[in-house]
Amino acid sequence: MNSCVLMAKVVRNPELRYTTDQLAIANMMVEFDGLGPNDSLQTIKTVGFGNLATEINERYKEGDQIVMEGRLSMNTFDRSDGLKEKRAELIIARIFAISGSASSSNYTSAPSATVTTPSPSTSNVIPFQNNPSVSVSQEPKITANITTNNPSNSPSDADLDDIPF
């Protein structure tokens, strides 16, 4: 399964264009941190199609912090020096603005994500035993009596051919 989630910053405003069939396509460049602490920023081209493309063009601009979900695609193209080059691009399926970064508009199909960090003094864990609305009953103990068909106690007397496998 090809699925990516990427948190990035828009570094080039979206460009909107249309195919001959009037399908909207939006391209924009985004950058994100590398994997290691000493890695430089990485850039990738992102593409959205249809209604999502027009929304990207209207809502997002250079400098916005976003979270995108989509699939990774590798494109091969010929360079001017005659060599072939591969570049990755993210085909966007969903896009979310990180709180307060996207341009204000009337669109609501891509909800804003609010990133909050709980303070150390508060906890979202509720102890089960201290909750008065939940009654705890003791589960019954299950016991089983195991009987064998062979009354003989010695292993040498047992007929091992009768053991079903």
Whether pLDDT at 154 is above 50: yes
Do residues 33 and 87 make contact, with C-beta atoms less than 8 angstroms apart?
no
Per-residue model confidence as pLDDT tens digits over 48-82 = 999 999 999 999 999 999 999 999 999 998 999 99
Separation CA 137–CA 128 (nearest Å): 12
- What domains appear along the chain, each with residue ranges and CATH number? 4-97 (2.40.50.140)
Residue 58 or residue 158, greater confidence = 58
Per-residue model confidence as pLDDT tens digits over 18-51 = 999 999 999 999 999 888 888 889 999 999 999 9
Per-residue model confidence as pLDDT tens digits over 109-139 = 444 444 444 444 444 455 545 445 444 444 4
Strands (E), 3-143: 4-18, 24-32, 42-49, 65-78, 84-97
Cβ neighbourhood burial of 4 (10 Å; 0-12, 13-18, 19+): middle
- pLDDT at residue 39, rounded to an integer: 87
The mean of the pLDDT values for the chain is 76
